[in-house]
Amino acid sequence: MGAKWAHRQHRVAGRYRTSVKLLRRTFVTVGPWRVHARVSAKRPKHEAPKVILVHGLGVSGRYLIPTAQELAPDYPVYIPDLPGFGRSSRPREVLDIAGLADALAAWMRVAKVGPGVLVGNSMGCQIITEFAIRHPQLALAACFLGPTMDPQRPTALGQILGLVRDHVKEGVALNLLAAYDYLSAGPARTWKTFRYALAHRMEQRLPLVKAPVLVVRGERDSIVTQRWAEQVAQLLPCATLSVVPEYAHAINFNAAPQVAWLLRPFLEQCRNGLVADDAA
């Protein structure tokens, strides 16, 4: 079991190193902020929907790179570090979920990105939910990878215990990356953002999302239960649910090929206008 686990982590790290070659760094001034993003180094030869990947709580966009690598040969991909995180500016005031959604929209407009398909993990799904409600013209569709917050775990303690149990399953590579990003963002900013995410009434906001959504859960996710994933899909006006066997919460990092395999048909539907037609 240990050898198998080590081999899997080696493969993940190898994918992460290779993917960096497919991306380049950019910095864009958005109002008072300097926003860092990783974007496709080369554009696909054919027309394809743009894919914007949105990170979760306390981390930067780095842990989204493996999924970006899988998609970059065929789709233009963008991974911004939202203000306060990664290499982007640190606003004095910590942004709440709506504020982060507005910052993402402002970056997309300045960087001339979009409309596109937004792919988020964890709290990134909450940001995309607000984004799709507040800026629907920029959201062709969305993919929720392990969406938070489950209203049946309303306390900080319940969420933290789920996070701790999940990190045990994620492996060394992701945990080291997340630890570095948490320290970079700072405990005060991470904690206040967590409180904003916990207060965000996801279950009340989901019915207002008009864009079609693909919901994906890792089978071993200790943060997002199967019951909550099913509820998310039911509350959304136009959604489907898929489960990735054997993996936990950060499927965008540890199960990137499986996530891309699920995403590609969905993105092709967006390219052909079929998803938009179904939603209408």
Give tens-digit pLDDT for 12-68. 444 444 445 789 999 999 999 999 999 998 877 678 899 999 999 999 999 999 999
DSSP E strand boundaries for the chain: 23-30, 33-40, 50-54, 77-80, 116-121, 139-145, 213-218, 239-244
Higher pLDDT, 16 or 261: 261
3-state SS, residue 55: coil
| Contacts (Cβ under 8 Å, ≥6 apart) of 36 | 25, 26, 27, 80, 81, 86, 87, 88
pLDDT 10s digits, 166-190 = 778 888 999 999 999 999 999 999 9
CA distance 275 to 280: 9
Backbone dihedral angles phi then psi of residue 141, each to the nearest 5 degrees = -165, 180
pLDDT at 158 over 50: yes
pLDDT number for residue 140: 95
- Which pLDDT belongs to residue 18? 46
3-class DSSP state for residue 106? helix
Q: Is the pTM of this model over 0.85?
A: yes
> Fold for domain 51-221+228-242?
Rossmann fold (3.40.50)
Sign of CA dihedral 60, 199, 133, 238: positive
Which one, of 122, 271, 134, 142, lies nearest residue 212 by Cα?
A: 142
Domain ranges of the chain: 51-221+228-242
Nearest CA to 161 out of 101, 245, 223, 209 is that of 223
pLDDT tens profile 5-17:
334 444 444 444 4
